[in-house]
């Protein structure tokens, strides 16, 4: 530390060092499941994600199509009346 002697160590309550606060880490252990089931579940999750992305892209393209169509018609009418 650059405060040599000002604070010997940053401590939390009850004298616990800051580096000792997080001692547990939690992870999901999938070793109990068969490998084929994990592959199948992962495949289904990816397929559903791709399907949702396709639906969102389709909706976006339809909105873009109508926006360009009606925007072009509006611009043409504006040029006609101006």
Question: 41-78, pLDDT tens digit by residue?
Answer: 999 999 999 999 999 999 999 999 999 999 999 999 99
What contacts 21, CB < 8 A, 6 or more positions away? 12
Q: How far is CA 53 from CA 40, 43, 66, 70, in A?
A: 20, 15, 20, 26
pLDDT at 9: 53
pLDDT at 27: 79
DSSP string, 5-73: TT-SS-B-GGG-BGGGS---------TTS-HHHHHHHHHHHHHHHHHHHHHHHHHHHHHHHHHHHHHHH
Tell me: the pLDDT tens digits for 4-50?
555 555 555 566 555 555 666 677 888 889 999 999 999 999 999 99
Stated as kind and residue range, the H or E segment containing 3 is none
CA gap 48, 46 in Å, rounded: 5
pLDDT at 29: 83
């Amino acid at each position: 530390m650059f405060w040599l002697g000002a604070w010997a160590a940053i401590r939390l309550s009850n004298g616990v060092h800051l580096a000792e606060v997080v001692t547990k880490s939690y992870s999901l252990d999938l070793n109990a499941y068969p490998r084929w089931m994990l592959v199948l579940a992962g495949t289904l999750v990816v397929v559903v994600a791709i399907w949702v992305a396709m639906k969102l892209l389709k909706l976006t393209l339809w909105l873009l199509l109508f926006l360009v169509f009606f925007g072009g018609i509006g611009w043409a009418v504006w040029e006609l009346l101006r």
